[in-house]
């Protein structure tokens, strides 16, 4: 017996251009610096386990991701952010 095969239309995934959360008015601040005391911004860039969220999820460029990582580590050292989440 032959099985009936149905053809499914495959939708092409379109990527939305994510905007870098650190850019000011669409331009990169120079020098790239993220304040480690800005805990509200840094909390958006870590997940609930306390891990730093990657570039693919946050939409940061490589330069801004390095600045984010550095400021999160400084904030952890100063006890503004936890090393470990829930």
Q: Rounded to the nearest 5 degrees, what angle is found at the Cα of 56, between the Cα atoms of 50 and 58? A: 55
With H, G, I as helix, E, B as strand and everything else as coil, classify residue 68: helix
pLDDT in tens, the chain (86 residues): 667 777 777 777 776 667 888 888 888 888 888 999 999 999 999 999 999 999 999 888 999 999 999 999 999 999 999 999 87
Name 18's Cβ contacts closer than 8 Å, sequence gap at least 6: 58, 59
* pTM, to two decimals: 0.75
What the block records as the tokens of 18 is 């994510």
């Amino acid at each position: 017996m032959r099985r009936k095969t149905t053809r499914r239309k495959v939708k092409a995934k379109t990527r939305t251009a994510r905007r870098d959360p650190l850019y000011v008015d669409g331009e990169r601040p120079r020098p790239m610096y993220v304040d480690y005391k800005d805990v509200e911004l840094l909390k958006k860039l870590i997940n609930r386990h306390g891990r730093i969220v990657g570039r693919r999820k946050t939409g940061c460029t490589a330069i801004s991701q390095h600045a984010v990582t550095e400021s999160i580590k400084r904030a952890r050292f100063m006890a503004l952010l936890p090393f470990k989440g829930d």
